[in-house]
Amino acid sequence: MDVTLNRTVLLEELQLIQGVVERRTTIPILSNILLTAEGDRLHLAATDLDVTVYTQCSAVVRREGQTTIHGKVFFDLVRSLPTESLELSFKESRVEVKSGSFNSQLASLDPADFPTLPEIPDGQGFAVDLPTLRRLIDRSAFAVSSEEGHFQYNAALLLLSAKALEMVATDGHRLAWTKAAHTAGTPPFEQQLLPRKVLNQIRHFSAEAETPLYIARGENHVAFRLGDRVLLSRVLEARFPQYERVLVRDNPHRVRIQRQELSAALRRVALLASERTHGVQLQFEKDSLSLSSVGFDLGQAAEVVGCTYNGEPLKVFVNASYILDFLGAVDVEEVEMQLRDSDGPIVMTPTKEDAIMGECLYVIMPIRL
């Protein structure tokens, strides 16, 4: 293999791949990227056996060939090169990288040891507006559990229908649901679990305006295709929790409050909350919300913010981080908190939605003291 590449173009593709390349693994080859020089392209592939990404970039190929290279080291190296042009060649188990007066030789593993890559499902797939899908992810992915072993909580559920896209995520303590309209017609499947790594990769997809993202499903994998880039996720068999009964919309007590004002006050009070629970007490009175930290290990803090509320006095204990996650995910001026009583879950939603932003609803279970 012997090719010349543009550093900026290559770097963009390497950046995309970093989220899939394994950093800590007992299988060294999974830390590597598979490079294939063919025609006038350099093809790149990475996999962790569950998630696979294919991408490519233009290249001047003097000799075709294939090799592997450590993904993180190669990315850091390309990012630091002194010129916009680089030469990449492979000989004697080493990948040579030249750029200006810089020269290096990187170790390479045998490409024959690289895992067998999954095939891309046939057909073009179902067209989805990428900004819309990214917006769904931004409004729900924060509720995906990061704890290993909770398979039903380690992924978000994507639901497709003839008129709308929905995404749901929960970690058992909170739930985020969001929905947006689409006009792409009847989808090829109704629902699919997407692990956190796939959601993050879709977030990093970039494209020219109006470029659609195509979703297709094969026997064992779901594919997301954007131009020359393809992201494959192994089909998960875990059963997602029955979330529908949690999407309550009829709680009688309604509180309207400025999002940024609530967020700022909550951050200040939560600084002195318990490090274990991040607990904050919310006390609702007529047109006021009192926030106070729960737990006195570091001290105590309290603050009062104005709101619109005419119901009976209520007191609720919640994880402040859960509320802050929601407030950071919705770019609106005002949010509404809907409560049934002091023991029931808090439902939060923007006070205004539009056709572009779609709908979203967030449910938080209170802390039991």
278 in Cβ contact with 321 (< 8 Å): yes
Residue 135 CB-density burial (10 A; 0-12 exposed, 13-18 middle, 19+ buried): buried
Nearest to 322 by CA among 269, 274, 365: 365
**Domains, the chain, ranges and CATH?**
2-113 (3.10.150.10), 127-244 (3.10.150.10), 248-364 (3.10.150.10)
Strand order in the sheet with 229-234: 65-70, 32-38, 41-47, 51-58, 229-234, 221-226, 213-217, 126-128
Q: Provide the residue-wise pLDDT of the chain in tens; the chain has 369 residues.
A: 999 999 999 999 999 999 999 888 789 999 999 999 999 999 999 999 999 999 999 999 999 999 999 999 999 999 999 999 999 999 888 999 999 999 999 999 999 999 999 998 877 788 888 988 999 999 999 999 988 777 778 999 999 988 899 999 999 999 999 999 887 778 878 899 999 999 999 988 876 656 788 998 888 999 999 988 999 999 988 788 889 888 988 899 999 999 999 999 999 999 998 888 899 999 999 999 999 998 777 789 999 999 999 999 999 999 999 999 999 999 899 999 999 999 999 999 999 876 667 899 999 999 986
Q: Write out the two tokens for 2.
A: 């012997």
Nearest to 38 by CA among 5, 58, 56, 65: 65
C-alpha–C-alpha distance, residues 5 and 101, integer Å: 16
